[in-house]
Amino acid sequence: MLPKAELHVHIEGTFEPELIFAIAERNRVEVPYPSVEALRSAYQFSDLQSFLNLYYAGMNVLKTEQDFFDLAMAYFAKASAQGVVHSELFFDPQAHIARGVPFEVVINGLDQAVRQSKQTHGLSSSLIMCFLRDLTAESAMEVFNQSLAHGDKFVAVGLDSAEVGNPPSKFKNVFDKARAEGFVTVAHAGEEGPPEYVWQAIDLLKVSRIDHGVRSLEDSKLVEALKEQAIPLTVCPLSNVKLKVFSSMAEHNIKKMLDLGLNATVNSDDPAYFGGYVEDNFTAVRQALNLSKAEEIQLCRNSINAAFIDASEKAQYLSQLEKSAV
């Protein structure tokens, strides 16, 4: 197993049914399913929205700092066992604030886990605050203003939730403000949405990485721009198959991305819902697309190079990769 960075994982999407039930019991709240097995068997999706409905329902039981800490520590244990040496976690503050859970509770619980992960697993990590694109631009600005008191606890802002009908252009103002405040930016684009949304993420939101971006290959000029500007794509193969972006793993275009010279990486997105963590994604791609060892090493190298870490940390992880690749 090769060392790698994970750059596209929603912490709320790592919430395994067993932990949902355990935290629900601790907080004395009801889960609308009779058992862990019944909940897990509901994880059959027809598209992004059908997944998001369950994803937002699952996080309903999270109430306290301890809950967010436990959630993130459970993820770090799984990720570490799958070769992850550095991880950048998305979180969705608006989804929690809307349920009456204060921003501070969410970010303080996650921040404590980020610190603990280095000690417990030797795994470095950071947080990326996402705006829910199906809510208004005003709501995004409001949560961003609120987040500034905790600006030392996250490194970037991102954009997630229901893509089609909610283009990046809707969030130009808040992304301008985030960059002015010193944050780098990323955005989900070209998962279900058209190549035009990827263009907007690059040109209007000035993103440092595109999350998913698999539909970029429909536009050859866009492929050229992604190469020219060396913009990494955080691809999530099991997610794409579960949400029917591709009809099977054999149809997935991640190998094509490498052939085109794109800077692709492999990530788990929402591993509790999509059937696997990051090494499980590598295994699925390896089996379906006959990836060579060299291609696998390239995907890991890309992930370290695309991480929001300093040059000395990158050099250290890259040398760890080259050593384990021989």
Catalytic residues, by residue number, are 191
CA distance 34 to 40: 11
C-alpha distances in Å from residue 235, one per residue of 12, 22, 91: 18, 31, 18
**Least separation, in Å, of the C-beta of 130 and ligand HPA?**
8
Instruction: Using the structure block, give the residue that is written with the tokens 């409001």.
Output: 142
Query: Is position 13 an interface residue for ligand HPA (rule: CB under 6 A)?
Result: yes
**Least separation, in Å, of the C-beta of 44 and ligand HPA?**
16
Query: Is position 48 an interface residue for ligand HPA (rule: CB under 6 A)?
Result: yes
Interacting residue with ligand HPA among 2, 4, 10, 58 (CB under 6 A): 10
Residue 13 contact, options ligand HPA, Zn ion, none, Cβ 5-8 Å cut-off depending on partner type: ligand HPA
CA distance 249 to 234: 16
Please, what sign has the CA dihedral across residues 297, 303, 305, 306?
Answer: positive
Interacting residue with Zn ion among 16, 67, 269, 296 (CB under 5 A): 269
Query: Is position 121 an interface residue for ligand HPA (rule: CB under 6 A)?
Result: no
- Of 245-284, binders to ligand HPA (CB under 6 A) are 269-270
Instruction: Using the structure block, give the residue that is written with the tokens 């275009």.
Output: 253
Residue 6 contact, options ligand HPA, Zn ion, none, Cβ 5-8 Å cut-off depending on partner type: none
**Least separation, in Å, of the C-beta of 234 and Zn ion?**
8
Q: Which is nearer to ligand HPA, 97 or 325 (CB)?
A: 97
Q: Which is nearer to ligand HPA, 2 or 52 (CB)?
A: 52
**Least separation, in Å, of the C-beta of 114 and ligand HPA?**
19
Q: Two tokens at 113?
A: 């886990």
Q: Two tokens at 190?
A: 């070209």
# chain residues binding ligand HPA, by CB under 6 A = 11
Q: Give DSSP secondary structure letters for 76-87.
A: HHHHHHTTEEEE
Cβ burial 53-71 (10 Å sphere, 16+ → b, else e) = ebbbebbbbbbebebbbbb
Backbone angles phi, psi at 190, to 5 degrees: 70, 30
Residue 48 contact, options Zn ion, ligand HPA, none, Cβ 5-8 Å cut-off depending on partner type: ligand HPA
Distance of CA 114 to the CA centre of its chain: 15
Contact residues: ligand HPA, CB under 6 A: 10, 13, 48, 55, 160-161, 188, 191, 239, 269-270
Contact residues: Zn ion, CB under 5 A: 269
